[in-house]
């Protein structure tokens, strides 16, 4: 079974600074997808960024980027120029491709990291 581990329950960052959230996962598969979701106090789950395992290039979305280390099974999220609106719970998630025949497209989540942004 796949597992996702976020070892930092809480983190804080000064506004305009950079912060990195850690995520490791365990899988025997060679092809899969990885995601970072943001959950603000409104509870809405918002997709921040995704990475396909077969792509060596790290995904980037504006101020958000990932450091994907496939051999180490590590998938960290870097937030640059942190803003007050970045304060939220962040979840790392894993999913197999449909063609894997796993039977579903379910996401396996880590326990989350609560990020605080200090003005």
Q: Rule CB under 8 A: which residues touch another protein?
A: 4, 9, 33, 42-45, 47, 50, 52, 91, 95, 97-99, 103-112
4, exposed or middle or buried, with CB in 10 Å at 0-12, 13-18, 19+?
buried
> Nearer to another protein by C-beta: 22 or 52?
52
Name the minimum Å distance from CB 44 to another protein.
Answer: 6
> Nearer to another protein by C-beta: 38 or 117?
38
Q: Which residues pair with 43 in a beta bridge?
A: none
> Nearer to another protein by C-beta: 33 or 64?
33
In the chain, count H helices and then E strands. Answer: 0, 12
Name the minimum Å distance from CB 45 to another protein.
Answer: 4
CA–CA distances in Å: residue 52 to residues 13, 18, 81, 91:
28, 24, 25, 17
> Nearer to another protein by C-beta: 20 or 39?
39
Q: Are 31 and 98 in contact (CB under 8 A)?
A: no
Place of tokens 């598969």: 29
Name the minimum Å distance from CB 52 to another protein.
Answer: 8
Name the minimum Å distance from CB 20 to another protein.
Answer: 19
């Amino acid at each position: 079974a796949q597992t996702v581990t976020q070892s930092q329950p809480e983190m804080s960052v000064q506004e305009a600074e950079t912060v990195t959230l850690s995520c490791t996962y365990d899988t025997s598969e060679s092809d899969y997808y990885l995601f970072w979701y943001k959950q603000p106090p409104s509870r809405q789950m918002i997709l921040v960024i995704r990475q396909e395992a077969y792509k060596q290039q790290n995904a980037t979305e504006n101020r958000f980027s990932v450091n994907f280390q496939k051999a180490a099974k590590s998938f960290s999220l870097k937030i640059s120029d942190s803003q007050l609106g970045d304060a939220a719970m962040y979840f790392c998630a894993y999913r197999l491709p449909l063609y894997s025949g796993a039977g579903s497209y379910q996401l396996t989540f880590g326990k989350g990291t609560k990020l605080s942004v200090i003005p």
